[in-house]
Structures are given as C-alpha cells and as structure tokens.
Structure 1
Amino acid sequence: MKKLILGIAIVASAFVFGQKEDVNAKLQAANKTAMDAYNAKNYTVAAPKFMEVYELLKTSGQDDKTYMYYAGLSYALANSIDPAIKIYTDLINSGYTGVQTTYTAKDNKTGQVTSYDKNTWELLKKTSSKDYSDFKTEQSKSVESDLYETLSTLLLNAKKNDEALAIIEKGLAKYPNNAKLKEYQGTALYASGNTDKFMQNLKEQLAKNPNDATNWYNLGVLQSKNPATVSDATATFKKAIELGGNDAKLIGNAYQNLVFTTIGDDDSAVKEINAIRKTNPDKATELIEARKARFNQALPHAESWYKAQPENLDVISTLKELYSITKNQAKFNEMKAKEAEIQAKQPK
C-alpha cells in the first residue's frame, strides 16, 4: 500500500458577514491560526482550527464545506486516520465536489480586482457600468474523485478493507476510468483474501495498460502462489523486470520472487531426500541432483537481485547459501564478509 501523499494549495478567505463583531473576530482568528499552521506543516493544529472555521460559518448560516475539506486534508496529512475518515465520508455522503464559482470585477478608479458574492456582483454589473469593468466568473475544479481516492487510501491504511472496497466501487461507478481507484481496488481485494477477483482486476488493468510493471509484478506473485499457475510466474516476473526501469525496489523484489519460484518448496524437498536417503539411495541422489539444478538455475536471478539491492541482507544471505550449495567457496566467502559488513552497520 502506498503511503498517503496529499497536497493542495489552500488560500486564505476574506469573510463577509453581517454578524456581530465577536463572531467575525473569532472567525478571522481561527482562520489565521489554521492557515499559519497549515503553511508551517503543523497539520495537527491546522485540522481542528479548520473545523472551527467551518462550524462558525455554519452557525452564521453559511454551510461552506470547503473548510471541512481542509480539515479532513490536514487530519490525513497529520496521519490522524479516524477523524480524517469521518470527514471524508461525510463529504462524500453530502455530495460535496469542491466546485465553487468566484465572481470578480475591477474597480475602475483604483484598478483593483475584487471578489464579490453573486448577488452583489450581478447588481454591480447592472448598475455600475462606469465604475466597474472586467466582470468575470471562474469555476474551481472538482475534487470529488480525489475524495474517493483519499478515503480509499485512509481505509486501506486502517485495514478496513471491506469498507474500502465499498467506497472504491462507489467511486468507480462515477469515475470508471480512474486508474488509482482501480489500483486500490486490487489492493483491497488482495488484502481481503479475494485473490481470484484480484487476479481478474490485474488482468483487466494490464489489458488497458500493458506497460505497468507493478501490475505485472503483482500478477507474478499471485501466479507463484498457485500450483496451477506457478509455471507462468517466471515469465511474468521477467516482464515486470523488463518494464521496471529504474525502480530498484520493484526489480529487486521481482528477482527475489524469481529466485524462490525457481527453487520451489525447498523444505519439502529436503524432507523428502532425508526420508528416503537410507531406503532408496539412488532416488535420493536423483532428488539431490535435481535440487542442485534448481539452485544453479536460481543463482543468476539472485545475482541480479544483488545488483539491484546490494545492501539488502536477505539477498546476501540467499546468495551465501546458494554459493555454498553450488560449491563456490570464493563467492561464499565474499558474501559472508559482505554480510558481516552490513550487520556491523546495523543499529544496536
């Protein structure tokens, strides 16, 4: 699951109220604190302050959910998952899209462009043609698809896979071509143990985008876990590596899976050899040779894994074992020394 990464340009608003001074002062103070905290990346402070602005506005008769959205975003960035989930759920259920229309006009005397509410803007346009000009409207972009993406991520991070699937499916009903929601759907299906649907999901995505290395890798993982498709996994992992570009982690993981897919269930193989070593030595020798052949076949994959992740203790340990089994003492000693070097760097 990818770490939640969110960003938005939040701009300060000028409040226009026919309210008591103390209410307006509270609004201005809360808004300033929220904005300052957000800009300073102090999201823990910003989130409740944005909610305070929202509640004060609502009390004054203006249900502006933009500030609830800012609060949800800040909670998410602060990694406060539960309040973020609640706010994003409420926003989606309310039908909030974030689309707003801004009305502006230029004061011909000062040259200043100012924003107005719709009624004032229309009145100025009708009655003050000499004093004002450049009457413009601008509509903000919808954030509805972002709401579904973010809530899906939050729910997946909270291990609420069934709830995540429900939100993802609701989002895909509105945005059927949303690549992120399709990816999250696969993640949720896999996390909930529904591997058949996950495989179907991956194949559908790969049909649309056959150059997606991550989806090829995930498909290989599923194939390698199923005896009926394990033989297909090798080609699938190689496809992921081919498309992986400079993604050392993905390439390393693909090679790692290639190694262990090639070796197979070595514990069972060793148990079988030990069980018949005395009663059927010829068969045991045959199995030993077959095991060595698998290790020899896996060795180039492990060496490529090492090139992709030379500081990874798992690959160093694996290579050390492979060199031992394939009787390459010099390389075994090299990996043993490398293992000690890496371990010495580990915090104690």
Structure 2
Amino acid sequence: MKKLILSLAIVASAFVFGQKEDVNAKLQNANKAAMDAYNAKNYAGAAPKFMEVYDLLKASGQDDKTYMYYAGLSYALANNSDSAIKIYNDLINSGYTGVQTTYTAKDNKTGQVATYDKSTWELLKKTSSKDYSDFKTEQTKSVEADLYETLTSLLLNANKNDEALALIEKGLVKFPNSTKLKEAQGTALYASGKTDQFMANLKEQLSKNPNDATNWYNLGVLQSKEAATVNDAIESFNKAIALKPDFANAYQNLVYTTIGDDTKAVEEINALRKTKPDDATKLIEARKARFEKALPYAEGWYKAMPENIDAVSTLKEMYMMTKNQAKAAEMKAKEAELQAKSK
C-alpha cells in the first residue's frame, strides 16, 4: 500500500481568501495537527483531523476531497478498515480523481513565485502584466487507479470478496491494463470458490507475462486438484521453480503431486499381498518409482527451507523408501535436532 507523501498541499489561498478569522484558525490548527500526527506515523490520530479539515472547508463552500483522501489513506495505514473502506467508496462514487490544477505567477518586484486561486490568477494575468509574469498552470497526477487498487486490497483483507470482485470489474473497465487489479481479481475469485474463473484469469495473466513464478505456482495448485491435469500441474510447478529456484512451496507441491495419494496406494498393496502377490509387487515398484521421481523435489524443498521440520521429515521418508540409509540417518538426526529446538 502506498504511503502518503505530504508536502504543503494546502496553499495559502485555500485558507485565507473568504475565510473568517476563527474558521481560518480552526483550519490551520486542524491541518497542523493532521500533518504532525501523520509525520509521527500516528495514522489513527491523523485521519479524523484530515476529515476535520475537509468538513471545515466544505462548510465554507470548498468541497476539496483531497483531505478526505488523506483521511482514507490514514485510516488504511492505521488498519481501520471499516472507516477506510467507507471513505474510499465515497471517493470513487463521487468521481474523485485527485487531479488538481495549481496556478502560479512570479512577482516581478520580489522575484518570488507564488501560488494563487484560479480567479485571482486570472485577474492578475489580465490586469497586472507589468507586475507579474511567468503565469503557469500545473496539474497533479490522477490517483483514481490507486483508489480502486487500495479499496480492493481493503475489501479482500476484510473477506468481502464479492464486493471486491464487483469493484475490480468496475475498475478494469477504466484501467484494463492494471496488473494489480488483475492479480487481485484472481485472489478474489479463488477466495470466492470460483476456481474455473480463477484458472482462466491465471492463464490470461500468464499469456501476457509468462515470467510470473507465483502465477505458475497458483495454476499448478489448481491443476493438481484434478487427476486429468496432474501432469499439467507438475509442468506448472517446474516452470515456477525455473523462474524462482528457491520457491519452497512449489517444491513441496511437486513432492506431493508426484507421489499422489500414498495412503491409498499402500492400502491397495496390502489388499493384494496375499491373494495377488505379483500385482502387489507391481504396485510396490510403481510406488518406489514415484518416490524416486519425487526425491529431487524433496531435496529442493529441503535446500530452500533447511530448518523446516516438514521438509526434513519428508526427505527422511524419501531416503528410507529409496534405500539411502546414510542420508536417511542424516535427516533423522536433523529431525531430532529441530524437534528439540521446538520444545
């Protein structure tokens, strides 16, 4: 989440022109309190003060939603999701983009450049050409895409997945190339149980960026859940590892996907041992072959996470299954060491 970078965003004209002295004092005090709190990373204290500035300006006829935006961002940074979500929704629904125009001119007598409200700037430009020069306007960048992206994150963190999906669809109409919204769409689809749409979303993203290890991993997870696409899952996990050699979760899933349902395999072997020993032997050899194939993945998992007891225990069992007693003993000792540390 982007942090708010505050400069002197409140120009003198916003507080002085047309303001009564007591109102102007309240504005200045509220603004100072907001900025002081923000700079001290007291976001919970900054947010209501920014809203106070907004409300005071609005009451005087200046509906400047910049301060509402600052409040929403501060609430988000303070982990006050409900307040942040409400403000971000209000901003988006109001059409706020954050684009503002600043008007500057140079005082020829002093040589200083000052900022003015639009009416004053236009008046000076028409009537004071000798006293003022270098009349310029500058527009700030739009924050509309950031509004959609931040609100999406807030909604997902609050487990409001359906609301997030509706917002993402709306946002993608405006910002069809937003990588963050596309990624969030996949997260929301998966969290909502819409796995088919999630898979389609992943494939679309990978067609545009085939070097995204996380998306290959996520695709592999989905593919591994169906027997018909297990080989596709193994291919996807391998692509993730090729892009990110220390991708521990990808190695772990490769181990389990390659071995398959080992409990079921053992049950089938035991059921055939007495009545059909030849068939049982074939299943035993097939099981051993699966373990041998999965062994390099288990070693990769352990290399990526040498202090992970699950990685160590799995590798120990793999070495035992493949008759590598020395390595099995090494992993058994490592397992005991980690168990002792956890007590």
How far does residue 94 in structure 1 lie from its aligned partner after superposition? 0.6
Q: Does 1:301 align with 2:301?
A: no
Amino acid at match of 2:71: A
Question: Who is 2:254 aligned against?
Answer: 258
How far does residue 287 in structure 1 lie from its aligned partner after superposition? 1.8
Q: Work out the CA distance in 2 between the residues paired with 1:145 and 1:286.
A: 59
Number of positions where the alignment pairs a residue of Structure 1 with one of Structure 2: 339
Amino acid at match of 1:43: Y
How far does residue 266 in structure 1 lie from its aligned partner after superposition? 1.3
Question: Who is 1:6 aligned against?
Answer: 2
Q: Work out the CA distance in 1 between the residues paired with 2:58 and 2:282.
A: 79
Which segments of 5 or more consecutive residues in structure 1 lack a partner in the other structure? none
Question: Who is 1:159 aligned against?
Answer: 159
Question: Who is 2:134 aligned against?
Answer: 134
* Pairing of 1:209-228 with structure 2 (within 5 A): 209-228=209-228
How far does residue 238 in structure 1 lie from its aligned partner after superposition? 1.1
Q: Work out the CA distance in 2 between the residues paired with 1:321 and 1:209.
A: 37
Question: Who is 2:200 aligned against?
Answer: 200
Question: How big is the alpha-carbon RMSD for the aligned residues of Structure 1 and Structure 2?
Answer: 1.6
Q: Work out the CA distance in 2 between the residues paired with 1:47 and 1:225.
A: 45
Question: Who is 1:123 aligned against?
Answer: 123
* Pairing of 1:294-333 with structure 2 (within 5 A): 294-333=290-329
Deviations for 1:158-205, whole angstroms, at most 9, x for unmatched residues? 111111000000000111111111111111111111111111111111
| Larger CA deviation: 200-209 vs 271-280 | 271-280
Which segments of 5 or more consecutive residues in structure 2 lack a partner in the other structure? none
How far does residue 17 in structure 1 lie from its aligned partner after superposition? 4.0
Question: Who is 1:189 aligned against?
Answer: 189
Q: Work out the CA distance in 1 between the residues paired with 2:310 and 2:122.
A: 69
Q: Work out the CA distance in 1 between the residues paired with 2:60 and 2:214.
A: 50
Q: Is 1:105–1:115's contact at 8 Å kept on the other side of the alignment?
A: yes
Question: Who is 2:265 aligned against?
Answer: 269
| Larger CA deviation: 134-143 vs 77-86 | 77-86
Q: Work out the CA distance in 1 between the residues paired with 2:173 and 2:269.
A: 55
Amino acid at match of 1:217: Y
| Larger CA deviation: 32-41 vs 336-345 | 336-345
| SS of residue paired to 1:29 | helix
Question: Who is 1:235 aligned against?
Answer: 235
| SS of residue paired to 1:135 | strand
Identity of aligned pairs, percent?
A: 78
Question: Who is 1:111 aligned against?
Answer: 111
Amino acid at match of 2:104: T
Q: Work out the CA distance in 2 between the residues paired with 1:95 and 1:261.
A: 48
| SS of residue paired to 2:130 | coil
The 4+ residue runs of structure 1 with deviation greater than 6 A are none
Deviations for 1:235-269, whole angstroms, at most 9, x for unmatched residues? 11111111226xx3xx1111111111101111222
